[in-house]
A and B are shown apart, each in its own frame.
Chain A
Amino acid sequence: MYRRIHHELGGDPWFVAGAGIGLFLLLLVLLGPALAPHEPYNMSFIPLSPPSAGHWLGVNDGGMDIFSELLYGMRNTVAFGLVAGLVSLAIGVAVGLSAAWFGGVQDQLAMRLADILLAIPAVMILILIAALFRPSPSVLALTLSFMLWPTTAKGVRAQALVVKNGLHIHAARQMGASGAYIIVRHLLPELFPLYLIGFATKARMAMFMEASLAFLGLFDPSRKSLGIMISYALKYYYLDIWWNWLLPPVFLLSLLIMTVTFLAISLEKVFDPRLKEAM
């Protein structure tokens, strides 16, 4: 099964494009501090100077090197997305699996809670908390992941119910395997594709929200983020700063979200046989 999937992913242009650009962006994220020519908080340069050899993308209104800001801002956006994606995935898998395995009251409670959370617009809760308490970005990422887990949990639960009634699970039970053993050795690995899809969609949503909330001014204004850069640059749109200040973060953010979208779409396509036929 895994060889087939490997083969199909390799043949899907969207996956190849997503993975290729994704690796490049990941390198930028990991090597960011080494690549950045200046400290992103160093405010000693001449404000609003155009691109030059020392400052590839020029200097912003606060006297900071835009290229270095860009690298650090992308790190923050990506980190926010990864944390929110991973935590919401972990919660979703834990809740979904336990609901499917134990059933009964626990299942009912978990699914009703999921329904309620699905109805509440996550971004509104996030805005309220961010505006009132000024929490650190990591706290906001955790808050977001507590709002985003229901879809993953529902998907995992549905699939786990199918797997749970499979012949091999019955066989394992007959041979005296404990519930914990079956969950860890059979259920968890067999649902693996769902994790990838869930993680990609959640990470995408979280990055999008981080950039948007930063754009709206809900984060610490001195924190580096692609959204904040766009919002600052937009204030100076009447100057000749489009190409070096406004468009680079816009382009990078779009590329980032596009990459994750490609990965999510191609994963869904390959792992969901019904969808694959449609493509």
Chain B
Amino acid sequence: MRRSRIIKPLPAFVLAGLIMVYASYRLPRLLPGDFVSAMYASSPVTLTADQEAQIKAYYTRGEGFSRYFLNLFTLNWGYSYAFLTPISALILEALPWSLLLMGGAHVISMILGFIVGVEAAWRRGGYIERSGVGCMTVLEGIPEIGTGVILLLVFALYLGWFPASGAETAYAMFSPLGRAWDVAQHLALPLATLVLAYFPGNFLLTRGSMVMVLREQFVETARAKGLPPARVRYAHAARNALLPMVTRFGLRIAFMITGALVVETIYAYPGLGTLLFNAISMRDVPLIQGIVLISSLMVLFVNLVLEYVYGWIDPRVGHVP
């Protein structure tokens, strides 16, 4: 039983990963004829004859799929022609900022959404609770582009409370503590945008499932035993209400990534999203390919981990044939 729980989700994820790697290997090679000149003809990047030959060689040297696959592990992901830098260096430089932004937003919105959702379900029917649900439903409908642009206009440009772009002040010689404060200030607006985008979904979902769980008999039993209400809420009921949030996370992940790309671009936050935006606007195909592949593999990994987290939260899952 235990073994099957570990093995079961693996094939789909391994296959999905292989499909992504193969797609990123095969798709550029499907381009007809001399795509290099077609691609770069209208771009702001001008290539010397030497560079053009290099790019063509990069795509036509017929390295086999196995070689491409191995290069993936040795961080040999190719060379960006817009930045004149190895792709691995660019991605590894941008990755920490993206992880900080997205990870922070997810942790905050999940914890906040969970606690507020549980409390709202507990106090169901009150005036504040109902208007809160209404506000969250409206917020759930506003896309990240909308919140991002409005927060930028109000707090960065009009009020000037936060910096409008970047992740830290360039060339500023701060003490470590000053630097942390600087980074936090730059992080505030993009983080707020993402939290505003993720929080309502987590809240509504937790509240919905919590309301359902609170009707179960074991909650009644726990109350009847005279346990303190907070203990009934969190130790008994909330654990069961956690499940839908974890499941929905995997389903919404593509949606969330799209939003994060946009938010990073709006605030020129130097993560993978902005790197991708720059790569797209400079038509840097190898870089686009690298970013897409690496971030998809990371998403696959997160999804796989979630699968196990799900089984751990709800032991019943492992017992379903």
Residues of A within 8 A of B (CB): 14, 112, 115-125, 127-129, 131-133, 151, 205, 208-209, 211-213, 215-218, 227, 230, 234, 237, 242, 246-247, 250-251, 253-254, 257-262, 265, 274-275, 277-279
Contacts and interface: CB of A to CB of B under 8 A. Distances in A.
Interface in B190-243: 207-209, 211-212, 215
Contacts of A262: 137, 141
A211 B137 contact: no
A116 B23 contact: no
Contacts of A260: 141
A257 B255 CA distance: 13
Given A234-B266, A277-B211, A254 B292 contact: no
Contacts of A237: 152-153, 157
Chain A contact residues, majority secondary structure: helix
B254 interface: yes
B153 A242 contact: yes
A98 to B, nearest CB: 20
Contact of B277 (A112, A216, A253): A216
Interface string B50-91: 000000000000000000000000000000000000000000
Interface of B: 11-13, 15-16, 19-20, 23-24, 27-28, 31, 137-138, 140-146, 149-150, 152-153, 157, 207-209, 211-212, 215, 250-251, 253-255, 257-259, 261-262, 265-266, 276-277, 280-281, 283, 285, 288-289, 292, 295-296, 299-300, 303-304
B289 A128 contact: yes
Contacts of A265: 137, 140
Contact of B265 (A216, A254, A261, A277): A216
Of A112, A124, A205, A211, chain B has the most CB atoms within 10 Å of the CB of: A124
Contacts of A215: 145, 262, 265
5 smallest CB-CB distances across A and B, nearest first, come from A258-B141, A261-B141, A254-B146, A115-B12, A119-B16
A273 to B, nearest CB: 11
Contacts of A279: 208
Contacts of B304: 119
B298 to A, nearest CB: 9
